Chain A
Amino acid sequence: MKIVVCAKQTFDTEAVIALTADGQVNATGITLIIDPYSEFAVEQAIQMKEKDGGEVIVLTIGNAGAQSAIRHALAMGADSGVLVDDPAIAGGDSLATALILAKALEKLNPDIILGGFKSSDIAGAQVLPRVSSILNLPNVNVATHLEWADGKAQVTRELDDGVEIIEVALPAIIGAQQGLAEPRYPSVKGIMQSKKKPINTWTLADIGVDAGAVGAGAAKTKVVQYTLKEARKGGRIIEGEVPDVTKEVVQLTRTEAKVI
């Protein structure tokens, strides 16, 4: 089975995000990692390969720096990587991302496609559904469990009140939710082997995407600005004798916190 995982590189989930004066995310000094949702998908793909054989290809859009996300997946056990890197891509929205992935996937012609159902940074959850409509493939998202056999997959999806089990014919696009597969730590051996595994870089021309169809010019949505959530205010300490303090606290729960 040929498994392609669409994986994204993102900010370290523990990084403290700061904004520039014009409301854009300040990326300087922030460590980039493979997106956690993509990582669930990579782990699932490797487990499928370990069980039934086949190959796992990691597909990423980004500049040369995004190779480290692919390398991480290769160190976990994926076989090869494809990086779509083209200056024309900059500034595009999820429509363009989906188009590029769809065209690269057509070229790779996989038996199953996995990815994060959303990413931990932008969390638009748009890319895989858009890819599936471009390629006219079934798409099941928020997957927490996956069984596969005889050209079919059974996907368990998380709902608010329970789970839903869906059967789809393959090839299909499955979006990973946390719980699908617990990502392994790459081992030293995996890390050393990863440097011998190929990462192919494709331009837009390589996958037949017109530069005018992607990038800032083609974007149908535009992020105006980001604003950070207000930091939590520190608590207030009310000092004094216990009876007085109690009285004041009860008072404040009505007048200030307005909880009773």
Chain B
Amino acid sequence: MYQFNEEEQMILSMVDDICTDIIMPRAQEIDIQDEFPWDIHQVLAEQGIFSLCFAEEYGGAGVGLHCWLKMMEKIAAVSCAVSMMIANVSLGSAPVVLFGNEEQKQKVLPELASGEAQIAFGLTEPNAGSDIGGITTTAVKKGDKYVINGNKVFITSGSVSKYFSIFAKVIGEDGSRKLSCFLAEKDMPGLVIGRNEEKMGLHGSVTTQLFFENLEVPESAIIGQIGDGYKIVFQSLNKGRLNNGAQATGLVQAALKDATIYAKGRVQFGNPISEFQAIQFMIADMEIGLQTCHLMLDNAATLFEQKSPDLMKYASATKVVCSDMANKATADAVQIFGGYGYCKEYPVERYFRDSKIFPIFEGSNQIQRGIIAKAVYKEYNE
């Protein structure tokens, strides 16, 4: 397992403190109000949490991915709405970090690192979810500009972001359609921010529709090359999937802790319910799951740092295991709490609702399994 150095340990200990002192006391309120928690965003910005995502030359802290993921796990264990706003800076900026030119990086990354601005990842469309080949947003060259038309759905932090990584198909003069990525800005005419969805969970994380009505972006807004779209999506999502896994692991941790404390205190048939084997097995399975999640995340993060060609398979597997585990652990936690777990008085009810997103987004777990199978088939090519 990766050993955190002294600075990283100090950072994680500070994260523990702000989780306990600042985020935890707000978590239920954020869930009930379902509004983007700007107060918490400000605290995170002041503490430099967003800087953990970036290299030093762009105003970042220059820490490794392991520290970033552990921080996110800790924050997700108290509020997934809050961890989402952090994770999304990582996903939204991934196209720029991985494929952007120096000018784009200098323009965007320092603002993201300081928390001054946020960035959204605009991929999904009403008719293109799992199947991104179905994207119908188009970009057409007009002089030294590109004109973008189309719309996006489910864009995390869409209504609070200044920057947008937008995927669109560039229509060539020969009629070719090449998936490409553009860096757009909120105040560009033609970028219309739609409504925020009402969701089952992740209340407080905003999920937004975007409309592009003759949105004109300069040529300098192209991230990478025309036609790099798929490459950018897949590599960005490798990182996104680890963010997803880390947050899901935070939920496993939270479910395990809350269920254990409750089971030891709740007496039925003259015994704490923690004494019943049926409860013990659920708790033990959560612990087994938690250990598994930690190992998989640790390994995948190491492969990411090593720029391993095998990363995709491991990132997908990590995302599947952690997100499925979060669903099971939070469901079991509700079960252990009985009727009280079904009520909002205890946070396990929120954990359960929040957990359901993790097998769905950033490539559903069905899609992940497809990716894993393909990778395996390649390995056993006769």
Report A's interface with B, CB cutoff 8 A.
68, 71-72, 75, 185-192, 194-195
Contact = CB atoms under 8 A, between A and B. Distances in A.
Contacts of B7: 191-192, 194-195
Interface in B148-207: none
Interface residues of B, number: 15
Given A68-B6, A71-B6, 5 more contacts: A186-B14, A187-B47, A190-B48, A192-B62, A195-B7
Contacts of B11: 188, 191
B10 A185 contact: no
A185 B6 CA distance: 16
A172 B206 CA distance: 53
B291 to A, nearest CB: 21
Contacts of B371: none
B17 A188 contact: no
A188 B6 contact: no
A185 B48 contact: no
A186 B51 CA distance: 14
A188 B48 contact: yes
Contacts of A75: 10
Given A191-B14, A195-B6, A185 B47 contact: yes
Contacts of B10: 71-72, 75, 186, 191, 194
Contacts of B46: 187
Contact of A189 (B6, B17, B48): B48
B64 to A, nearest CB: 13
B52 interface: yes
A75 to B, nearest CB: 6
Nearest to B71: A188
A185 B14 contact: yes
Contacts of A188: 11, 14, 47-49, 51-52, 61
**7 tightest A-B CB contacts, nearest first:** A188-B48, A187-B48, A191-B10, A188-B61, A189-B48, A187-B47, A185-B14
Contact of B61 (A68, A186, A192): A192
B279 interface: no
The binding surface of chain A is classed by DSSP as helix
B5 to A, nearest CB: 9
Interface in B333-379: none
Interface in B184-238: none
Contacts of A194: 7, 10
Contacts of B14: 185-188, 191
Contacts of A195: 6-7
Contacts of A72: 10
A36 to B, nearest CB: 13
Interface string B36-53: 000000000011110110
Nearest to B67: A188
A187 B47 CA distance: 4
Interface string B46-77: 11110110000000011000000000000000
Interface in B1-29: 6-7, 10-11, 14, 17-18
Contacts of B52: 188
B61 A189 contact: yes
B261 to A, nearest CB: 16
Nearest to B60: A188
Contacts of A192: 7, 61-62
A187 B18 CA distance: 11
B54 to A, nearest CB: 11
22 contacts: A75-B10, A185-B17, A185-B18, A185-B47, A186-B14, A187-B14, A187-B46, A187-B48, A188-B11, A188-B47, A188-B48, A188-B49, A188-B52, A189-B48, A189-B51, A190-B48, A191-B7, A191-B10, A192-B7, A192-B62, A194-B10, A195-B6
Nearest to A188: B48
A10 B48 CA distance: 27
Contacts of A189: 48, 51, 61
A203 B46 CA distance: 38
Contacts of B17: 185
A81 to B, nearest CB: 14
A109 B6 CA distance: 31
Contacts of B62: 192
B70 to A, nearest CB: 13
Contacts of A190: 48
A68 B48 CA distance: 20
B17 to A, nearest CB: 6
A61 B311 CA distance: 48
B95 to A, nearest CB: 24
